[in-house]
Chain A
């Protein structure tokens, strides 16, 4: 069975500090991977997607970056956090772009 694991579960960070959120998918090779973000009171927005190792497409510009260093790993990061980065970050995977997407449990980020 496939599992998706996100870390950390929650994080409180200072403005201007760096951030790294991680996601791993086990039990499925070469999945499509996605990062979604939900600001408090806002809607879920897709930030990045990746269909293969080393290849990441940006959907929304938020002064964040994403990388896929391994087939089963997706990293979201920034060198300088802004207050507006606060929110809920979800990692997700799908078999192809036309199949069901499965979500991780998310990371709650608070920037102070």
Chain B
């Protein structure tokens, strides 16, 4: 079955710097990719859903890159601010469906002032 490896497990950057998180997956039939953010005590919040046809996806304060050749999904938080401190999870699906999500182990991101 699908396996997703997420790195790094912990990341600390200074306010204003960039934070880069990467997931690699194994199933070449994966077509839907997700990034979730979880603040302490809160639910997982969907940051972005990416389809396999789009390599560069711009969000508010972040960019998601998809490299299908290398089976790599990346989240780049630009100009990080304290509100970005949270756990981030990638997830991959071959159907886009909630019943077939495979998650990475998560990255604990800390933004230092």
Contact = CB atoms under 8 A, between A and B. Distances in A.
A34 B46 CA distance: 16
Interface of B: 4, 6, 9, 36, 41-44, 46, 49, 89, 91, 95-101, 103-106
The residue in A43, A97, A103, A104 that gathers the most chain B C-beta atoms within 10 A of its C-beta is: A43
Interface of A: 4, 32, 34, 36, 38, 41-46, 49, 90, 92, 94, 96-106
B42 A105 contact: yes
27 contacts: A34-B98, A36-B103, A41-B9, A43-B4, A43-B6, A43-B103, A43-B104, A44-B91, A44-B103, A44-B106, A46-B99, A46-B101, A49-B99, A90-B44, A96-B97, A97-B97, A97-B99, A98-B95, A98-B98, A99-B98, A101-B98, A101-B101, A102-B43, A103-B43, A103-B44, A105-B41, A105-B42
Nearest to B36: A103
Contact of A100 (B43, B89, B98, B99): B98
A102 B41 CA distance: 15
Given A104-B43, A106-B43, A43 B98 contact: no
B95 A97 contact: yes
